[in-house]
């Protein structure tokens, strides 16, 4: 099932998946009583990037997968206006629509990259009361802004003439080994982006927004909810030894932090390992965070 949410940046496509009787675990609540989960993808990309982990998530949760403006099934009449702050407003409108049309009053939010930034903003903004927990996957918003980073965001990845040549090799780096069908399909979609003027314009506008003086979290340490922070140790976009460390320092002390042997999208590269950490957390976020779960020293799930 799909729903369309009108916003100021375009009509937003949201895929809606509910557990069905044949797939639910014994004793699990029915579709109307299952907890809700909102998935927010990276830039560029769309909700299909989560397809490798979606069956396991949708088996347990009412799962809602957003396509950002101009990506997937969503429109972007003015792609140059899309910004990280605009995505926050889009996500707030999606939460309102989920409450109105699906009766969703509480939701866990899982976001990757700029989707992780939006997830944090939801948890510190006017919809904070409806957000029960966060899963942040290599989130944006923790890079120290310097003259170099602002220049790179604005003048390199923010300019279509330059980004057109760089977006594909960058994706090849941040998607890791392309060892799964999901990662290869995501890469194939990125390879088509330089030839799609709307998607390319959205991609560049979001990069430029990362250098905006208004971009950033108000006070990450004040977030008052369970948080699972997952970071790929080989991420070339937001490196674990820089951005990951800053995130761990700035987020609340009770944040559960796990470093994974992946690049920027662990759910694409190592879906089994990703789910090993995410599913127990979503099942009981406060209990798992209290135990301060640590990853196994030699994970074997692929």
**Residue range 229-259, pLDDT digits in tens:** 999 999 999 999 999 999 999 999 999 999 9
Helix (H) or strand (E) holding 124: helix 114-124
pLDDT at 302 over 70: no
Q: Is the pLDDT of residue 29 over 80?
A: no
Q: How far apart are CA 92 and CA 128, in angstroms?
A: 10
Compare 167 and 302 and report the one with higher pLDDT: 167
| Partner residues linked to 137 by β-bridges | 112, 230
The predicted model gives 172-180 an average pLDDT of 95
By percentage, how much of the chain surpasses pLDDT 90? 87
* Mean pLDDT, the chain, integer: 92
Q: How confident is the model at residue 292 (pLDDT cuts 50, 70, 90)?
A: low
Question: Exposure string (b/e) for 4-28, b if CB count within 10 Å is 16 or more?
Answer: ebebebbebbbbbbbbeeeebeeee
pLDDT in tens, 130-148: 999 999 999 999 999 999 9
pLDDT tens for 44-62 read: 999 999 999 999 999 999 9
- Model confidence at 26: pLDDT above 60: no
For the chain, first and last CA: distance in Å?
29
33 against 218, higher pLDDT: 218
Instruction: Give the CA distances from residue 101 to residues 76, 104, 132, in Å, rounded to whole numbers and listed in that order.
Output: 23, 8, 19
Say whether pLDDT at 290 is over 90.
no
Whether the per-residue pLDDT at 102 is higher than 80: the answer is yes
The pLDDT of residue 34 is 87
Residue 242 or 26, more confident: 242
Please check the confidence at residue 119 and state whether its pLDDT lies above 80: yes
Average pLDDT of the segment spanning 217-222: 95
Rounded to whole angstroms, the Cα distance separating 176 from 191 reads 15
pLDDT of res. 297: 44
């Amino acid at each position: 099932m799909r729903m369309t949410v009108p916003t100021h940046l375009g009509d937003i496509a949201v895929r809606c998946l509910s557990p069905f009787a044949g797939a639910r675990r014994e004793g699990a609540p029915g579709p109307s009583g299952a907890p809700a989960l909102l998935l927010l993808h990276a830039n560029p990309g769309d909700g299909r990037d989560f397809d490798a982990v979606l069956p396991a998530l949708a088996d347990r949760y009412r799962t809602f997968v957003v396509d950002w403006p101009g990506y997937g099934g969503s429109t972007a009449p003015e792609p140059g206006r899309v910004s990280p702050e605009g995505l926050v407003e889009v996500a707030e409108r999606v939460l309102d629509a989920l409450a109105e049309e699906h009766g969703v009053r509480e939701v866990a939010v899982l976001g990757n990259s700029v989707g992780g930034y939006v997830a944090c903003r939801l948890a510190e903004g006017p919809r904070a009361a409806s957000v029960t927990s966060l899963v942040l996957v290599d989130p944006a918003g923790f890079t120290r802004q310097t003259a170099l980073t602002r220049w790179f965001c604005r003048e390199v990845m923010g300019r279509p003439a330059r980004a057109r040549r760089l977006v594909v090799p960058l994706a090849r780096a941040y998607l890791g080994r392309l060892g799964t069908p999901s990662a290869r399909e995501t890469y194939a979609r990125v390879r088509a982006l330089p030839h799609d003027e709307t998607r390319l314009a959205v991609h560049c506008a979001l990069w430029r927004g990362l250098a905006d003086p208004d971009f950033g979290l108000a006070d990450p340490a004040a977030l008052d909810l369970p948080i699972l922070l997952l970071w790929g140790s080989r991420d070339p976009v937001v490196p674990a030894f820089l951005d990951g460390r800053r995130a761990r320092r700035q987020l609340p002390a009770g944040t559960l932090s796990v470093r994974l042997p992946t690049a920027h999208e662990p759910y694409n590269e190592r879906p089994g390992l990703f789910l090993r950490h995410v599913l127990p957390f979503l099942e009981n976020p406060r209990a798992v965070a209290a135990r301060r779960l640590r990853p196994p020293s030699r994970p074997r799930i692929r």
